[in-house]
A and B are shown apart, each in its own frame.
Chain A
Amino acid sequence: MQIIQPHYHAIARTAQDYERMAMSGVVAVAEPAFWAGFDRLYPETFIDYFRQISEFEPTRAADYGIKHYCWVAVNPKEAENPELSHEVIKKMPEFFDKPTVLGVGEIGFHKTTKNEEEIFEAQVEQAIKYDQLILIHTPHLQDKVRGTKRTLEVLSHMNVNPERVWIDHVEEHTIREPLEAGYWVGFTLYPVTKCSPKRAVDMLEIYGHERILVNSSADWGPSDPFTLQQCVVQFRARGYSTQDAIEIFHNNPARFLGQNPKFDIKPIRLETIDEPSHNLVGN
């Protein structure tokens, strides 16, 4: 089955992960810009990082027949350095012209501070100005509810089209409001600290399949790119068809990301073919 991995931090993973993803049906990944595990000191470090994910990483993925796309942004943790963040934001439009850059992300809140909010708003404004898709990170664990509510409050005062905004890492306690407000939402499958494959399928059963993306994130921390495939298996084990699975794990990301014409993978449909039977006996 063909799968699109819509949130994947490839620079933190090995070539063997690409190979095994290709073997398990992954045809494309999209890599948001994120925190490197330490706070960077220089705008140029971000620029080189954006070059890495928009120029080099697509070549590494292509070795395994996987298309690689990316997003550029200052992540919420490093937004605590507003001076650095504004310098980076000024440089981001240069990357919007790159052939595989899909938009601005992941942005949003970590601890829901004033600095984070200032940089979040600046990046949303820039995405609007340059007609870019938006990918929003919501906080971890005990900070998730507060950060998600503030995210929605901030967005409600800005001129965003919810259909072009993806609010990621939602769980049972944060899915309802963004979905009802018309945004796309994402389930991030982590071994311990976010959503599990089984709980993701539960939410698909409760909330339906529209405007929902499922991803593994898969970064340098405890994470696993194949939780996405585990989710496909869990979904199929509950009796849903292959086409139902394709709708969620391939077509939904194709629909959201395809709002940027650079993402040229279209939704697909399985079709049986009536062929004349061949009698091989005696040939």
Chain B
Amino acid sequence: MQTALQVLDREYLEARCSLLELAAALDRVDRAADHEGSAGEFNDSRLELLKQAMALLSEESHLPNRSERMLLLFSDLD
């Protein structure tokens, strides 16, 4: 098994790229809302889900289960 440093070396740039794409996607929504004249007012439950998912990323965790918890967050459980 690779060391944590080896894994980070391999994953860092792709993770950076994924975060940039997410930031750009959110900017895209904001710019479109601004263009429609609804800047700061536009809301959608999916945006709230994305915010919760982003918060989950920065949580300290003793278990490597962020992806599982994120998929549950995006699931209809009722």
In the complex, what's the smallest C-beta–C-beta distance from A105 to chain B, in angstroms?
A: 26
Q: From B17-25, B36-44, B65-73, give the one contacting chain A.
A: B17-25
**A132 contacts the other chain (CB 8 A):** no
Chain A neighbourhood of B25, CB < 8 A: 198
* Secondary structure of the B contact surface, majority rule: helix
Instruction: State the CA gap A141–B13 with chains docked (Å).
Output: 9
Chain B neighbourhood of A206, CB < 8 A: 31
Residue of B nearest to A238 (CB): B28
Chain B neighbourhood of A141, CB < 8 A: 13
Instruction: State the CA gap A48–B46 with chains docked (Å).
Output: 57
Partner of A202, one of B13, B17, B27: B27
Instruction: State the CA gap A172–B31 with chains docked (Å).
Output: 15
Instruction: State the CA gap A206–B34 with chains docked (Å).
Output: 12
Are B14 and A192 within 8 A (Cβ)?
A: yes
Are A192 and B24 within 8 A (Cβ)?
A: no
**A94 contacts the other chain (CB 8 A):** no
* Secondary structure of the A contact surface, majority rule: helix
Interface set, chain A 183-211, CB cutoff 8 A to B: 192-193, 196, 198-199, 202, 205-206
Max chain A Cβ within 10 angstroms of own Cβ: one of B21, B24, B25, B31 = B24
Are A193 and B20 within 8 A (Cβ)?
A: no
Residue of B nearest to A195 (CB): B20
Residue of B nearest to A172 (CB): B24
Chain A neighbourhood of B24, CB < 8 A: 172, 196, 198-199, 202
Chain B neighbourhood of A196, CB < 8 A: 17, 20-21, 24
Instruction: State the CA gap A193–B14 with chains docked (Å).
Output: 8
Partner of B28, one of A172, A192, A193, A202: A202
Say whether, besides A198-B24, A199-B24, A202-B24, A192 and B17 are in contact (CB < 8 Å): yes
Max chain A Cβ within 10 angstroms of own Cβ: one of B17, B21, B25 = B17
Instruction: State the CA gap A199–B16 with chains docked (Å).
Output: 14
Residue of A nearest to B35 (CB): A205
Are B17 and A193 within 8 A (Cβ)?
A: yes
In the complex, what's the smallest C-beta–C-beta distance from B75 to chain A, in angstroms?
A: 26
A-to-B contact residues, CB < 8 Å: 141, 172, 192-193, 196, 198-199, 202, 205-206
B-to-A contact residues, CB < 8 Å: 13-14, 17, 20-21, 24-25, 27-28, 31
